[in-house]
Amino acid sequence: MPDPEDCHLAQLVNEPIPVEKYTRWLGEPGCGAVLLFCGNVRDTNRGQSVVRIDYHAHESMARKQLTRITASLVEAGAHRALAIHRLGTLEVGETSILLGVSLAHRRDGFGLLEQGMERVKADVPIWKHEQYQDGTVAWIEGS
């Protein structure tokens, strides 16, 4: 059995997330299914036209919370799991989070991704600071 520590990966990054590189990391011969979720910056929120978002974090805790989530996904049946969150300024369309799992068959993977994202949305100390077309800004607290 591989060491569980080698089977999950959680990172905060300040550059665009290289999705292909992480997809390769998830793949292994015993896994017929690699499932990915990309969260992208949307151009509208709460009726406002969004131009970009600054992502801020309590970095040490966010890293540990993401690690706890990916470890729990492996405990729940994923062969491998990763969560990569980007911080800093992102333009509309850029990817802010990549969550991925790999496992033998696809069926359980969708639930694991959803479970992981629910925990990211609830328990990882990261916040959006949105900038709008009209020049105003707002902190988003709670999803």
d(C-alpha 65, C-alpha 69), whole Å: 6
Q: Is 97 in the site for other proteins (CB under 8 A)?
A: yes
Distance, in Å, from the CA atom of 143 to the CA atom of 137, rounded to the nearest integer, reads 17
- Using an 8 Å Cβ cutoff, are 116 and 73 in contact? yes
- Supply 81's token pair: 């799991």
DSSP state of 7: G
Task: Tell me the C-alpha distance between 23 and 98, whole Å.
Answer: 10
Per CB under 8 A, 44 contacts other proteins: no
Q: How far is the CB of 141 from other proteins (least distance, A)?
A: 4
Contact 83, 65 (CB under 8 A): no
Q: Which is closer to other proteins, CB of 76 or CB of 87?
A: 87
Instruction: Report if residue 101 touches other proteins, rule: CB under 8 A.
Output: no
Q: Which of the stretches 24-32, 72-80, 104-112, 113-121 binds other proteins when contact is defined by CB under 8 A?
A: 113-121
Q: Which of 4, 16, 28, 60 binds other proteins (CB under 8 A)?
A: 60
CB of 124 to other proteins, least distance (A): 5
Among 73, 96, 101, 103, binds other proteins (CB under 8 A): 96
Alpha carbon 99 to its chain's center: 4
The residue ranges that bind other proteins (CB under 8 A) are 39, 55-58, 60-62, 64-65, 85, 96-97, 117, 120-129, 139-143
